[in-house]
Amino acid sequence: MSSFSTISAGFAHATGAPSSNAIVTDVDGLEAGMTQLPDGAPAYFARPQSGANCPIVLVAQEIFGLHEHIRDVVRRFAKLGFFAIAPDFLIRYGDPQKAPDIEAIRAIVAKVPDAETMAAFDQALAFAATRGGDAGRAAITGFCWGGRIAWLYAVHNPRLRACIPWYGRLDGPHTPTQPRWPIDIAAELKTPTLGLYGGADPSIPVELVEAMRARLKRARAPAEIIVYADAPHAFFADYRESHRAETANDAWEKALAFLRATGVG
């Protein structure tokens, strides 16, 4: 396992040079920084310097780790009045930021037990609640692999007010460490959920999205999935070539509106 006292803040090596269009959110008016959760996992958090009882948003990272894009998303939420926190649930099994390629990152991700990840988010939520966050108005959002985690955590913790997965994988290999996928738990979902997906994402075929929709509908689960027809995987990732500004902006506004509608924002 890796040491996490030396986690770097840059972008993951495997994603290539970041785009000049990458959004940079400052820390003016925020308390922001790293903390360590009780089980030793590191987490990045940000919250407004003033104010109390902030709604909480848990942020689940991409497969690229707790790199600068995810930290910036945390700060974006904090600028809007949220206590946002992103636990690094991968680093104990390797550092995706330093991995040479996607295959090396996937090898790291495959080792991470879902049960351990759920516990990390439990601890992140508890930490936020002790630092001025309102656990009664909590939500989770996640990107890429973190989108998968968001679906799973919403079932693990049905007390959440909202769940917003962004292009999270819906099905995949069932292993002892990762035994269930979102499509397996659709009937158990009680948390209001807004899924944001790309119709031009080969890693998550539209047919699979439709199968997920069908299971959610049969279960009368409180969930909606929006598919942006021409959007690729990672359309929100402003530091990558996959970024689609118009789609990303529309999805971000829909996500914020969903948080307001569910009583989080």
CATH code (residue 56): 3.40.50.1820
Q: Which domain holds residue 83?
A: 13-261
Residue 5 lies in a domain: no
Confidence of residue 17 (pLDDT cuts 50, 70, 90): confident
Alpha-carbon distance of 227 to 172, in angstroms, equals 20
Q: Which of 67, 69, 233, 243 is catalytic?
A: 233
pLDDT of residue 9: 61
Where is pLDDT greater, at 1 or 107?
Answer: 107
**Assigned domain for 35 exists:** yes
201 has catalytic annotation = yes
Q: Tell me which of 13, 95, 144, 238 is the catalytic residue.
A: 144
Report yes or no on 71 lying in a domain: yes
Parallel, antiparallel or unpaired: strands 42-48 and 193-198: unpaired
pLDDT tens-digit map of 36-76: 999 999 999 999 998 789 999 999 999 999 999 999 999 99
Q: Report the chain's C-alpha Rg in angstroms.
A: 17
The pLDDT of residue 10 is above 90: no
Residue 8 lies in a domain: no
Q: Is residue 196 part of a domain?
A: yes
- Residue 245 burial (CB count, 10 A): 11
The per-residue pLDDT for 21 is: 85
Q: Is 144 considered catalytic here?
A: yes
Per the structure, the count of domains in the chain is: 1
Residue 25 contacts residue 84 (beta carbons within 8 Å): no
User: Which residue in the list 95, 114, 201, 238 is annotated as catalytic?
Assistant: 201
